[in-house]
């Protein structure tokens, strides 16, 4: 998992409440259990005018020019700004996979669905919770300035505006530790690889029939 420490990036506004996981990555793309190939299908139903399906030739697709991610001013965005209850609906882990593979490293919203929120941390994506009033101000600023960027300092737990204003946010200490060190559940386990090998060798000696 990629480490997260300091991020500076363009902000893309997803100006709607209750964005569900089927909107983030539609159900027809869930057949694959591999963690790759989901970025091109992020917000597929909104992003394209045609219907998407797994394995299709992306060069033949018809982008929706009115969708935020297809607008030139938001190209290369790495921070997604949204409204309350982001990530609601089914508990598919493919949703943070798709966001990450598109290029987003952080999401800012007033609230999230619990399972989506937890899945973000397990996949190196930082979901930041800010008050609705602060989020509303950020939307105004994103719309007002082309190429609007924010900086996110996870170590200090602040979102930094272009004028230097800092907005603090909370993050649970263990989740912060994992993001800073790029550790998912497998990475956490592999820290103890030598102890695991020793245990297995001893178990084999004591119980060779197992």
Q: Give the three-class secondary structure for 197.
A: helix
Report if residue 189 sits inside a domain: no
pLDDT mean across residues, the chain: 92
This prediction's pTM? 0.90
**Comparison of pLDDT for 175 and 35, the residue scoring more:** 175
Return d(Cα 191, Cα 27) in angstroms, integer.
Answer: 35
State which residues form the domain around 164: 6-183
**How confident is the model at residue 207, as a pLDDT?**
75
Q: Is the dihedral of CA 168, 24, 42, 139 positive or negative?
A: negative
Tokens of 111: 């609230």
Q: What is the CATH number of the domain that holds 88?
A: 3.20.19.10
Domain count, the chain: 1
Tokens of 91: 């508990």
Return d(Cα 177, Cα 156) in angstroms, integer.
Answer: 12
Cβ burial 163-185 (10 Å sphere, 16+ → b, else e): eeeebebebeeebbebbeeebee
Report if residue 192 sits inside a domain: no
Report if residue 144 sits inside a domain: yes
The overall longest dimension of the chain from CA atoms, in Å, is 70
Residue 169 predicted with pLDDT over 70: yes
**How confident is the model at residue 195, as a pLDDT?**
67
- Asked if 47 and 63 count as a contact pair (C-beta separation under 8 A), the reply is yes
Q: Give the three-class secondary structure for 149.
A: strand
Query: Which of 88, 64, 69 is closest to 79 using CA atoms?
Result: 69
């Amino acid at each position: 998992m990629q480490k997260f420490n300091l991020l500076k990036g363009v902000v893309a506004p997803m100006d709607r409440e209750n964005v569900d996981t089927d909107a983030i990555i539609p159900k027809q793309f869930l057949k694959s259990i591999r963690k790759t190939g989901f970025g091109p299908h992020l917000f597929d139903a909104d992003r394209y005018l045609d219907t998407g399906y797994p394995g299709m030739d992306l060069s033949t697709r018809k982008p929706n020019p009115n969708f935020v991610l297809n607008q030139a001013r938001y190209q290369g965005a790495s921070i997604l700004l949204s409204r309350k209850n982001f990530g609601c609906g089914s508990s598919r882990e493919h949703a943070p996979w798709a966001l990450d593979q598109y290029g987003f490293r952080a999401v800012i919203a007033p609230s999230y669905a619990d399972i989506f929120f937890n899945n973000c941390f397990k996949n190196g994506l930082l979901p930041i919770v800010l008050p609705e009033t602060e989020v509303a101000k950020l939307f105004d600023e994103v719309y007002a300035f082309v190429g609007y960027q924010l900086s996110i300092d996870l170590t200090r737990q602040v979102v930094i505006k272009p004028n230097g204003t800092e907005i603090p946010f909370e993050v649970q200490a263990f989740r912060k530790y994992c993001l800073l060190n790029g550790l998912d559940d497998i990475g956490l386990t592999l820290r103890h690889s030598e102890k695991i090998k020793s245990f297995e060798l001893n178990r084999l000696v004591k119980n060779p029939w197992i």
